[in-house]
Amino acid sequence: MSAIAGVRAIVPVLRSFDEGQARDFYLRYLGFSVTFEHRFAPDMPLYMGIALEGAEIQLSEHHGDATPGSAVRIAMTDVAAFHRAIRARGHPRLDPGIEDRPWGEREVAVVDPSGNRLIFCSPLDGAQPR
């Protein structure tokens, strides 16, 4: 397969309803950083790009941009280290576990304040990355 279009990344857009809750969840708790923010006017909904070690997600408060309750899988090299980091930061309504899956991955799943599910995963020892 040739790279005619030069695709660099696939960036999911997730629906967000509350800027304060989204910032606490994604920035403080999960450790993402803001890459950009946009509003058409100060009183308009926020559209924000965030990244975690180069993996980007965009959050939108605009009606119709995304469906609440979506799921995104985020492949990592060491999900156990990520799990320890988020547990150390803590969240008032979350205490995610870490699970080994029969398909050869270790996963940490969390649900954001808007109902979107993020599944962070890495291959189990000896398993091939997906």
Instruction: Identify the CATH number of the domain in which residue 68 sits.
Output: 3.10.180.10
Q: Considering the domain boundaries, does residue 94 fall inside one?
A: yes
Structural domain includes residue 21: yes
- Quick check: is 93 in a domain? yes
Q: Is residue 128 part of a domain?
A: no
Say what the pLDDT of residue 1 is. 56
In a domain, 101, yes or no: yes
> What is the mean pLDDT of the segment spanning 34-52?
96
Residue 105 domain flag: yes
The pLDDT score that the predictor gives to residue 130 is 60
What's the mean pLDDT when you consider all of the chain? 93
Write out pLDDT tens, residues 69-111. Answer: 999 999 999 999 999 999 999 999 999 999 999 999 999 999 9
The HSE-up count of residue 44 (CA atoms within 13 Å, CB side) is 10
In a domain, 6, yes or no: no
Give pLDDT tens digits for 78-89. 999 999 999 999
Identify the helix (H) or strand (E) that includes residue 48: strand 47-52
Residue 80 belongs to domain spanning:
13-123
| Tally of domains in the chain | 1
pTM given for the model: 0.91
